[in-house]
Each structure stands twice: as C-alpha cells, then as structure tokens.
A = this chain, B = another copy of it.
Amino acid sequence: MIEADLRRNWFDLFQASLAGEKLGTEERQAIERAFLCMRSYRRGETIVDHSPLSDPLHLVTRGWAARASVLEGGSRQITDFVLPGEFCDLSRLGHRSSQMAVAITTVRTALLERQAVRKAIEDHPKLGLALLRMALREQAILREWLVCLGRREKREHIAHLLCELHERLRRAGMVCDHEFDMPLTQEQIAEATGMTAVHTNRVIQRLRKDGIISFGRQHVRIDQPQQLRKIAEFDAAYLST
C-alpha cells in the first residue's frame, strides 16, 4: 500500500467513526494541517506511554489497540479497546494521564500534533463538537464496562464484551454476518474483564459447550446472537448517535 493512500485514508476513517457529526472541507483541511506522519507498531508494542504532555495524538488507522493501567503489583487493567478511526489518547488534549496504550495487533496510526489539533478546534467549532461526541461515546462505553465489572457475573460480562465488540466492528464494516476476526488472547480478555486467564478460559469453554459461540484462533462466530445478548442484557443503544 502506498503511503499517500494511507495518508488520505486516516481522515475518512476518523470521520466514519463519528457516525452523525458530518465534517466539511474546511474542517478536513484544518485537522489535516495537524498531520505529522504515519507510524507502525508491532503487536505488544507500547503506543502511548504515560509520559509528558508534549507528544502527538495517535489516531489508529489499522489494527486494534488497548488502553490500560498497570498497578504496582504488576497486574494490568485494560479500560478500552481502540479500533480503526479512534484515538488512542484523546484524553491528552486535556490532562496528563496515567493510562497507556498498547498494540494488540500490528497497528498503524496517524500522528497529529496536539497543539495544532487544539488550534483546529478553536477555529472550527464543528470539530470540537465532533470530538466532544467522540469523547462522550467513549464515556458511554466506559460506563457500560463499569456496570459489567460491578454488577454482572463473569459469564455475563464476557458475553457483553463480545456483543459490544461485535456491534462496534459491525458498524465499522468489519463483521461478516455473525463472524468477525478477534485478535484478543484469552489473557487480554481477562485483563479487560477483571478476571484471571484461567477463569476466562473456563467461562469461554462453557459458552462454547452451550453452543452460543464458536471461538478459535483470532476468530469468533456468534452462533446464538439472541441468547448471547440475553445473557449479557445487551442493548446497543449506548453505542449509538
């Protein structure tokens, strides 16, 4: 793939993930002015460290990333998955953050200069509104995760995560019927759901045995979507515009 192609594509991905807030040519040019370069990360590599505020923002254009916090004991909590078109570190527009972002798969990102993005927002209100909505959608996802962690059984939680990923990927056109590529290891699912890898494995096996999902090498098929949503009490509204 040609570099020029990728460069042309990041904005389209960004815009697509905004579902609703349409941006015009002006806004496009304004934010494209913040573009620095594309960059690649290998699976497992750290994309954003919890370091000073100076660095650029990272918009994922290919692959999956995850935001996470690491505790002193060494355990890690994944707080969100970042799919193409989304920012790894929108929060850095505001404050210093203790969160980091790592690459789940090979990841390609567009680097945008932070101050330039800020400037673009100040000049183009629609951009601010778009990013605000993006941040609010992330919030909605975080709240749903909170509910899962606080009040749902692990089985329900994993079911919910699968429903969410399915829906988000569907909207991004990355789903074929009820199947999709899912690069997460069971350990990463555990890190996202506040479980151990061992127990994650048992729960998934149970879902498999019950004929609800098929789960294999980087791939998920939801065999009983209805049933899965029921287990998870999943309502896709929170992902909507």
Contacts and interface: CB of A to CB of B under 8 A. Distances in A.
Interface of A: 20, 67, 69, 71-72, 75-77, 79-80, 90-91, 93-99, 118, 121-126, 128-129, 131-133, 135-140, 142-147, 149-152, 193-194, 233, 235, 237-241
Given A135-B136, A142-B143, A149-B149, 10 more contacts: A75-B151, A79-B146, A91-B136, A91-B140, A95-B133, A97-B140, A98-B235, A121-B129, A124-B125, A139-B142
A96 B126 CA distance: 20
A95 B146 contact: no
Contacts of A135: 132, 135-136, 139
B152 A241 contact: no
A71 B194 contact: no
B125 A122 contact: yes
B93 A136 contact: yes
Contact of A122 (B71, B126, B137, B140): B126
Nearest to A68: B147
Contact of A121 (B77, B122, B128): B128
B128 A132 contact: yes
9 contacts: A76-B151, A77-B147, A77-B150, A94-B137, A95-B136, A95-B237, A121-B128, A125-B128, A138-B139
Contacts of A128: 121, 125, 128-129, 132
A165 B45 CA distance: 35
A71 B137 contact: no
Nearest to A126: B122
Q: Which one of A79, A135, A194 has the greatest number of beta carbons of chain B within 10 Å?
A: A135
